Amino acid sequence: MAHPAVGDLAPDFSLSDTHGTPVTLSGLRGGPAVLVFVPFAFSGTCTGELCELRDNIADFEQAGVHVAVISCDPRHSLRAWAAQEGFGFDLLSDFWPHGEVARAYSVFDEAKGHAVRGSFLVDGEGIVRWSVVNPPGRARELSEYRSAVAALAAA
């Protein structure tokens, strides 16, 4: 199954945030959102990526882009990770049914049981406007997010 392509309607979902509150993609409509799939809470590369997003969150907020991080970890682990690192954006648990949303975006590694590093920028109507999926161990570049957000704002 292929990843949702630019121009495709992004698969809707409902996942719990770190406090158990449901967050749906359709509920975020009206403004853009970037969905950031990560393999594991507390891992080095994932923590580095999210700390960079945290430290540059103004780039997203000024453009009105909602940041939502999705992991197959349980929400309690995600809550501890968010508290430890001071993440102010949504961390959503795709724990059960395990990896269901990651599968919908074709970023679930069936052999290892976790999401791979995929990001999708979705506009206010739910259409994918940019995506990147990186191989294991390769962090996503902040410059790629910035370019995608700038292109969306210019459209």
pLDDT, tens only, 7-36:
999 999 999 999 999 999 999 988 999 999
The answer to whether 67 and 53 have CB atoms below 8 angstroms apart is yes
**Is 46 among the residues known to form the active site?**
yes
On whether the pTM is more than 0.75, the answer is yes
22/42 Cα distance (integer angstroms)? 23
Q: Extract the tokens encoding 18.
A: 């770190």
Q: Which residue has 């997010």 as its token pair?
A: 145
- Which of 25, 28, 41, 46 is the catalytic position? 46
The DSSP code sequence of 73-121 is S-HHHHHHHHHHHT--SEEEE-TTTTTHHHHHTT-EETTTTEE-EEEEE
129/115 Cα distance (integer angstroms)? 21
The class that CATH gives domain 14-154 is alpha beta
The answer to whether 114 and 88 have CB atoms below 8 angstroms apart is no
Predicted pLDDT of residue 154: 85
Task: Give per-residue pLDDT as tens, 82-120.
Answer: 999 999 999 999 999 999 999 999 999 999 999 999 999
> Taking the alpha carbons of 5, 138, 88, 43 in that order, is the dihedral positive or negative?
positive
| Count of CA atoms in the C-beta half-sphere (13 A) of 47 | 11
Predicted pLDDT of residue 84: 97
100/16 Cα distance (integer angstroms)? 13
